[in-house]
Amino acid sequence: MSLSLGEKIFYAITILAIILSNPPILNIVNEYCKTHPLTLGFPTFWLYLEIVWTIVIVSFAIAALKIEKWRKIEERVEEIFLKKEVK
C-alpha cells in the first residue's frame, strides 16, 4: 500500500503532535514556562498546547478534504446508510 504525499504529511504532523504532547517534551516546555509564565499575555504552557493541537486539527481538516482515500470511505459509508434507510 503506497501512501500519497498528503497522507505522509498528515501522519507526520499527527505523530509529531503526539510526541510534543508527551512528558519528556512537556518537561522541557515546563522549564521554559517557569521562567516565562506569560507569552503575549497568555499562560505560556496553555499557549504551547493550543498551538500544537490547533495545527493537528487544521491538518486533519485539510486531510479530510484533500485525501482521495478518505473520500472513497465517505462515499462507502453514505452508500451503506442510504441502503439501510430505503429498506
Per-residue pLDDT, 47: 93
Please work out, in degrees rounded to the nearest 5, the angle formed at the alpha carbon of residue 73 by the alpha carbons of 71 and 79. 105
Cell (9 digits) for 7 = 497522507
* Domain hosting residue 9, numbered range: 5-86
The span from the CA of 85 to the CA of 78, in Å, is 11
Cell (9 digits) for 24 = 519528556
Domain count, the chain: 1
Instruction: Read off the pTM.
Output: 0.66
Instruction: List pLDDT tens digits, range 22-75.
Output: 888 888 999 999 999 998 899 999 999 899 889 889 888 888 787 777 777 777
